[in-house]
Structure 1
């Protein structure tokens, strides 16, 4: 017996359910002759007559009845599977796994995900914080968020969050009273600069920019840490100068625990991008999230822009 064609099997069941070729053809949008050809091919494949054909009606033979009895549960499962796909397209379900840097997880995602998850109650989100650039697919993630432009050609990048961000330099009033307030980045030499070491082992550089001129100052001081919280608390306690994402310093600057310095040299850079593989099936939770971000970009009126490398101090 040859392996039957699944389409022929489905159409055979449709003919029996409709009680004839003409009625089944009308429901399926096919010709009665093409349906008849499909059934004949199925009968040839199984080596048995499956339908009794008369001028008045079409009924299954005993073999046809037995076959349909076994096939109907499978056919219902197939139909349900495709219906589920359609439902998934309309109401995404499943888990969205994201790999994001610390600033994005702390300051951008909370409000963003609150709106997104209320729209899609069938979606769960798993977020892992990681400041290194990784292969999201190899890591088992659906997508990542990064600032750098070093994306593979088969990756797609979508803006997420504010399109311009900047680094802010600040120190506690007690530190500036004791050590002086630098008026130029070159005057940072000799100051206590609170350094940041990244997961890669690299130490961030204080990178300033003004009118196209870039100055890079390696941090020198008593404290080097991978903890943003420790670095900021140490600055508040008067241990040195901190240079980091503006969001990290917004509250202590607002309440006076820290004082901004070198404002003319603060370096701005493009906001983060969601990136994902462009050559694989997009799971429905990821598709929903991408559509959500694109709608937000339209609402905010964000101009299209290319990602570029974020300053050295953030890497």
Structure 2
């Protein structure tokens, strides 16, 4: 479409919105006669009458109403984009509502969020911890932090952490009473601490990979929890083997409180991502995304 044709359409939309050639001409910085000439040229090109004019009023014809419904949303979207660009240039301000789960909050936000708030004094952040994969839009959240494999397809996702991996661990006291498993099938003979998934209600399967083949193992044991910290406490105390995020387990391993087994069977998967609806983020959210974005190896 040629530039002049877009100008004609925009002039038509402005007249239809203001219901006045005079007001539309003032808004477009044109003379009423020039605007009238523009509309006549548009009607001649399209071969239909778009505006019904009297000495006192102007209104779209049936054909004009149909054209208005088609093109006005596009012009509104363009205007919104221009407005958003102006917002982008201003200092970030306002409130951000963010949802995530406990591990991600500590791993991603613990060190970075305080500095972000100091750098952006006009931005406030509300963090809500929830293990369920809630609907961000329906629940009124601006963004969420989740593992890459849990992201909705209609969300934009930015990595905020390295690739993740699971770890099979047990305490030294536990392994004094039980042999270390050599393969995932050996887990059948072990007391395993299982995690109840809040969203689905099922037990989290222990996932492994070897020679390019992925498989799951359903473990059993005396204890089932729905909190990662409680599971870690129980495993450290010797209640059984645990299936934990590597980042959660490493501090305990470094202190000698936990021993890792079956490491070669646990492969990396997509790490933590900040996800947000597929639309232009506010300057405040954009600033937070830039602050949390993972740039490491």
Structure 2 residue 92 is the aligned partner of structure 1 residue 92: yes
Map 1:149-188 onto structure 2 (within 5 A).
149=149, 151-162=151-162, 164-188=163-187
Structure 2 equivalent of residue 214 of structure 1: 214
Map 1:92-241 onto structure 2 (within 5 A).
92-149=92-149, 151-162=151-162, 164-200=163-199, 201-241=201-241
Structure 2 equivalent of residue 79 of structure 1: none
Q: Indicate if the aligned counterparts of 1:167 and 1:267 stay in contact, CA closer than 8 A.
A: yes
Q: Indicate if the aligned counterparts of 1:207 and 1:267 stay in contact, CA closer than 8 A.
A: no
- Where does the alignment leave 5 or more consecutive residues of structure 2 unmatched? 1-18, 36-54, 57-82
Q: Indicate if the aligned counterparts of 1:166 and 1:266 stay in contact, CA closer than 8 A.
A: yes
Structure 2 residue 245 is the aligned partner of structure 1 residue 274: no
Deviations 1:159-203 (A, max 9, x none): 1122x1111111011111101111111111020010000212121
1:171 and 1:237 map into 2 onto residues whose CA distance is 9
Structure 2 residue 286 is the aligned partner of structure 1 residue 292: no
1:202 and 1:265 map into 2 onto residues whose CA distance is 23
SS at match of 1:146: strand
| Cα distance change on mapping 1:220 and 1:126 into 2, 3 Å | same
| Cα distance change on mapping 1:258 and 1:122 into 2, 3 Å | same
| Cα distance change on mapping 1:242 and 1:151 into 2, 3 Å | closer
Deviations 1:252-280 (A, max 9, x none): 1111111111111123111122111114x
SS at match of 1:243: strand
Give the alignment's TM-score, normalised by structure 2.
0.68
| Cα distance change on mapping 1:119 and 1:211 into 2, 3 Å | farther
1:270 and 1:87 map into 2 onto residues whose CA distance is 33
Map 1:260-271 onto structure 2 (within 5 A).
260-271=260-271
Instruction: Please tell me whether Structure 1 or Structure 2 has the larger radius of gyration of its CA atoms.
Output: 1
| Cα distance change on mapping 1:268 and 1:121 into 2, 3 Å | same
Q: Deviation of residue 101 (structure 1)?
A: 2.6
Q: Indicate if the aligned counterparts of 2:166 and 2:267 stay in contact, CA closer than 8 A.
A: yes
| Cα distance change on mapping 1:123 and 1:228 into 2, 3 Å | same
2:136 and 2:170 map into 1 onto residues whose CA distance is 37
| Cα distance change on mapping 1:221 and 1:154 into 2, 3 Å | closer
- Where does the alignment leave 5 or more consecutive residues of structure 1 unmatched? 12-29, 39-43, 46-82, 303-315
CA RMSD of aligned residues (A): 3.2
Q: Indicate if the aligned counterparts of 2:25 and 2:31 stay in contact, CA closer than 8 A.
A: no
| Cα distance change on mapping 1:152 and 1:178 into 2, 3 Å | closer
